[in-house]
Amino acid sequence: MQELEVELYFSFRSPWSYFGASLMYDLQREYALQVNLVTVNPIYIRYHEFFDKAHDKWRPYFLTDLLRYSEYRGLPIGMPRPDPINVELPADDPGHLVHKLTPLGLAASALGRGIEFAREVSAVVWSGEIDGWDQGDHLQRAAARAGLELADLHQWVRDNADSWPRQLLANDRALEQHHWGVPTMVFDGEPFFGQDKIELLLWRMQQKGLQKR
């Protein structure tokens, strides 16, 4: 059975990416589908002015929709503790905790377990069930659930220290060809923005011959 492929543009700071990774992981298990994780910088880093220019109704609606979608999907959601982005820091500050996660996402993709790693780690950050996700063995255990060793991911990051930052910027530029937000899925050159477009994505892939495993 031939597998189809789809790209998932994903940020570790996006709760919607957390939802999207979980749903796309489920699709990969059910269908003859390869989900290729494409980790990008958070929108705070790519478009910091987005938040400055947002409508005053944006934030309250965002939170309402987030809780509603969590209830609808049965996926827990909570404020990350700590936030991968420190809003007190400039967008280009290296102190943002997301910089600990983003290269690991690139490493997981290189080692063939990108969507699995994104699903597990984003749940650790966004489920609201863990205080101090960046401490202790939370990331190590999440990597193990994804079929990876955290030490191997860190080794990949060290071994590719000269190339992975360029790859990350290339991923950001590739997203820009389709959309500016995450999660964005791209199938056969066609973008689908938002976790609520996954059903539409599935319909399109089934048109192109996607079958259950």
Reported as a single tens digit per residue, the pLDDT across 142-178 is 999 999 999 999 999 999 999 999 999 999 999 999 9
Under 8 Å between Cβ of 153 and 111: yes
91 Cβ contact partners less than 8 Å away, ≥ 6 residues apart:
44, 45, 48
The CATH fold assigned to 4-207 is: Glutaredoxin (3.40.30)
**Spatial CA neighbour of 182 closest among 190, 191, 81:** 191
Residue with tokens 């790519």: 46
Q: Looking at the predicted structure, is the pLDDT value of residue 18 above 90?
A: yes
Q: Is 209 left (phi over 0), alpha (psi -120 to 50) or beta?
A: left
Report pLDDT digits (tens) over 79-136: 999 999 999 999 999 999 999 999 999 999 999 999 999 999 999 999 999 999 999 9
Confidence of residue 213 (pLDDT cuts 50, 70, 90): very high
Sign of CA dihedral 199, 4, 188, 46: positive
Report pLDDT digits (tens) over 50-64: 777 778 888 899 899
Angle, CA 142 vertex, CA 136 and CA 147 arms, to 5°: 135
Residue with tokens 């109704």: 57
**Spatial CA neighbour of 12 closest among 95, 90, 86, 99:** 99
Confidence of residue 1 (pLDDT cuts 50, 70, 90): confident
C-alpha 184/C-alpha 201 separation (Å) is 10
Confidence of residue 7 (pLDDT cuts 50, 70, 90): very high
C-alpha 127/C-alpha 14 separation (Å) is 12
**Spatial CA neighbour of 187 closest among 8, 2, 28:** 8
- The domain ranges of the chain are 4-207
pLDDT at res. 53: 77
pTM: 0.96
